[in-house]
Chains A and B, each alone.
Chain A
Amino acid sequence: MRRWDRIASVVVLAFGGIVAFAALKMDLGSLNQPGPGFLPSGGACLLAVLSLVYVVLSFRRAPDGEESPWPKRHGARLIAVVASLALYCAALSSAGYIPATFVLMVILFLVADPGKWHAALVKAALSTAITYLVFEKLLMVQFPAGLLGA
C-alpha cells in the first residue's frame, strides 16, 4: 500500500499543480477585491502542500507487506464493465438508445454470468425494451434515435 500511497500523492501533487497553474493565469484581484483566481490558487497551493506532506508520511510509515489495494480476482470483470460503459458513451449518439443499450446489456449480463448467451440476450432485450417504453414513451425522455431514427 505504501508504494500506492506514493503514486497517489504524486498524482494529487500533479493535479494541484495544474489547478494552481491555471488559477494563477486568472485575475487574482486584490485583498480588497478578490478576483476569480483568488480562492482557486489558494486552494490549489494548499492541495500541493498537503500532497507533499502525504509523500513524506508515506515514506515514514512502516512497510505493511506492500499489500496492493487492487483486486487480484475479478479485475478483468471490472475492466470489461468500465470499457463497455466508455464505448457506450462514445456510441450512444450515433448508434441510438436501442442498439447501443442492447449491446451494453448483453455485455453486462455476460460479465455477470459468463457463457450464458441465451439468458443474456433475453435479459438484455427485456431491459432495453422496458426502459425504452417507460422512459421514452411514458416519461418523455428523448433518447438519441441514432441508426433507427435515420
Chain B
Amino acid sequence: MDLLQHLASGFQVSLLPINLLYCFLGVLLGTLIGVLPGIGPTAAIALLLPITFHVPAVSTIILLAGIYYGAMYGGSTTSILVNIPGEAASVVTCIDGYQMARQGRAGPALGISAFGSFIGGTLALVGLMFAAPAMARFAREFGAPEYTGLVCLGLSLLIYLGGGSIIKSLISALIGLALSFVGQDMFTGQDRFTLGMRELKDGIGLVPMFMGLFGISEVLINLEKTIAREVFATKIRQLLPSREDWGRAFPAMLRGTGIGFLLGVIPGGSAVIASFASYALEKKLSSQPERFGSGAIEGVAGPETANNAAATGAFIPLFALGIPSNATTAILLGALMLHGVRPGPMLMEQQAGLFWGIVASMYVGNVILLILNLPLIGLWVKILKVPYKTLFPLILLFCVIGAYSVEGSVFDVGVMLAFGVVGYVLRKMGFEGAPLVLAFILGPMLENSLRQSLIISHGSFLIFVQRPIAAACLLATVILFLTALVPFVRRKRELLADEA
C-alpha cells in the first residue's frame, strides 16, 4: 500500500508540466542519440550536464535518465536498417535485425524491438520499485567499513565483468583514484596535487573531465574511420508484428527482462553484456538454432528487451547505495552530486519526492517512447542520412561551450581537451574508461570510509574482517581476482570481450 502511495506521489511530481517536458525532451534526445552512430548516451549525458545547472535536481535526472533509456530504444533502428549499431548495446541486434530488413521485414523488426524495449523497461521498473527500497533498508545499517568493502566490490565487479584486460582495467581504476585526490584533503584542508593552481583547489571538474573522456575522445575515434551509412532502401510497412511473431518473441522478451534486470543491478553487468547474454540464451533454447543469423525475430526481441531492462536495473545500486554500476550511471551520480543530492540508503526517506518522481517519470518515458518510436521511424531514417562530417564540428563546439559555461573558465576548456586526448589514447591502447570514471567518483567515498574505519578501530585493519558485510565484500573481491587467474575463466572472459 505504501508503495502505491509513494508511486502516486511520484506521478504527481513527474506529471507536472515542466517535468513532463523534460521527460519528453530526454527520451526524444535519447532516441536521436541512439539512432545516430558516433555518439553514445554516456557522451551525450556528459555533454548535457552543464545545461542542467539551472534546472531542479529532479527535472535534471528525469531528463538525463530519459536520454539513457531512450538511447536503448533508438539504437535498434540503425542496427536494423543500416547494420550499424547506434550504440554498443544494440550491436547484437544487427545480426538478425538487418537480415529481417533484407527479407522485407524491417517493419516487424522495428516494431518488435520497440515493444520489447517497452516491456523490458516497464517490467524492470516494477523490479526497481521493490528492490531499491529493500536494498536501501538493508544498507541503512552500513558504517564506514561496510562502505569501504562495497566500493571495493563495486569496482572489482566492474573490472571483472567489463571485459578486456584485468590489469589494464585495474590501472585505469587506479588512475581514476589518483585523479580523485586532486584538491583539498577533506579531513585537514591541505592542498594535494594542485600544482599550485587555484583552479584545482576544488579538484578536477567533473563536467570537463567527463566531456573530454567521453565526448571529445569519441569524436577523435570517429574521425579515424569513414562511417558509410547506406540506409536499407525498402518501404517500411506493417510495423505491428503478426501473431506468429508475437508467439516467438514474447517468451524471449520475458527471459530478456530477467537477464537484463539482474545484469543491470550488478556493477559492470552493462546493457551490452545483457543483450549478448540474452541472444546466447535464445539461441541455446531454440529448437531451430540455425535460424539465428538469418532473421530470427527472437534474436531481436530478446536482446532489445534485455538492454532496456539492464538500463533500468542499473538505477538500483545508484539510488539505494550511491554506487553506480557503469559509466553512464556514474555521470548521473555526478549530476545528482552537483545538485547537492547524495544518493544512498537515506535518499528514499529524505528525498522521497525526488526518488519516486524519477521512477514515475520512467513509466511515463517508456509510454512516450513507444508512442514516439513507431510513427517517427521515417524521421529517424532521414536523420540517419546526415553525414558525420557535418555533425562533428558542431559536437566539438557544443563540448567547448559546455565545459566553459560551468564556471565561465577557459581553464576548464583546457582540462576537457587534455582529457579528450587522454581518453583517446586510453581507448586506443585498450584501457576501459568506465573503471577510471567510477574510481574518480567513488574515490572520495573510499578514502573517507577507509580513514574513518581506521580511526574507529584505532589503526586495526581487522575491523574489515570483524564486520560481516565488509568481510564478505572484501572476500568476494579477492575471489573475483583469483578466479580471473584460472585459465578457463580467463579464456571465457577474453571470448566475451572479443564478442562485445
Q: List which B161-195 residues lie within 8 A (CB) of chain A.
A: 167-168, 170-171, 174-175, 177-178, 181, 185, 187-188, 190, 192-193
Q: List which B428-445 residues lie within 8 A (CB) of chain A.
A: 428-430
A131 CA to B400 CA, complexed, in Å: 11
Question: Nearest-CB distance from B373 to chain A (Å)?
Answer: 28
A47 touches B401 (CB 8 A): no
A22 CA to B193 CA, complexed, in Å: 7
- Interface majority SS (helix, strand, loop, mixed), chain A: helix
Interface size on A, residues (CB 8 A): 63
B190 touches A74 (CB 8 A): no
A57 CA to B166 CA, complexed, in Å: 12
Q: Which of B18-26, B97-105, B267-275, B407-415 lies at the interface?
A: B407-415
A39 CA to B430 CA, complexed, in Å: 27
B190 touches A40 (CB 8 A): no
A50 touches B174 (CB 8 A): yes
Mask of A25-37 contacts with B, CB within 8 angstroms, 1/0: 0110011111111
A69 touches B413 (CB 8 A): no
Q: Which residues of A contact B390 (CB under 8 A)?
A: 112
User: Which single residue of chain B is at the shortest CB-CB distance from A86?
Assistant: B417
A69 touches B224 (CB 8 A): no
A15/B175 contact (C-beta < 8 A), A26-B192, A39-B447, A135-B401 known:
yes
A30 touches B174 (CB 8 A): no
B389 touches A112 (CB 8 A): yes
- Interface majority SS (helix, strand, loop, mixed), chain B: helix
Question: Nearest-CB distance from B215 to chain A (Å)?
Answer: 12
A89 touches B389 (CB 8 A): no
Q: List which A107-123 residues lie within 8 A (CB) of chain B.
A: 108-109, 111-113, 123
> Pick the contact of A85 from B171, B223, B400, B459 — CB < 8 Å?
B400
Report if A144 contacts B (CB, 8 A). yes
B408 touches A142 (CB 8 A): yes
A8 CA to B389 CA, complexed, in Å: 31
A127/B394 contact (C-beta < 8 A), A36-B185, A36-B190 known:
yes
Interface size on B, residues (CB 8 A): 52
Report if B370 contacts A (CB, 8 A). no
A71 touches B224 (CB 8 A): yes
User: Which single residue of chain A is at the shortest CB-CB distance from B394?
Assistant: A127
A interface residues with partner B (beta carbon < 8 Å) = 4-5, 8, 12, 15-16, 19, 22-23, 26-27, 30-40, 43-44, 46-47, 50-51, 53-54, 57, 69-71, 73-74, 77-78, 81-82, 85-86, 88-89, 92-93, 101, 104-105, 108-109, 111-113, 123, 127, 131, 135, 139, 141-144
Given contacts A23-B181, A141-B404, A141-B405, 13 further A-B pairs with CB under 8 A are A12-B171, A16-B174, A19-B193, A26-B192, A32-B454, A32-B458, A32-B459, A54-B171, A74-B224, A89-B410, A109-B393, A131-B401, A143-B404
28 sampled A-B residue pairs with Cβ under 8 A:
A15-B178, A19-B193, A31-B454, A36-B187, A36-B188, A37-B192, A39-B450, A43-B174, A43-B177, A43-B181, A78-B223, A81-B220, A81-B396, A82-B220, A82-B417, A85-B417, A85-B420, A88-B413, A89-B410, A101-B397, A104-B397, A108-B392, A109-B393, A111-B393, A113-B389, A141-B404, A143-B404, A144-B410
B interface residues with partner A (beta carbon < 8 Å) = 167-168, 170-171, 174-175, 177-178, 181, 185, 187-188, 190, 192-193, 216, 219-220, 223-225, 389-390, 392-394, 396-397, 400-401, 404-405, 408, 410, 413-414, 417, 420-421, 428-430, 446-447, 450-451, 454-455, 458-461
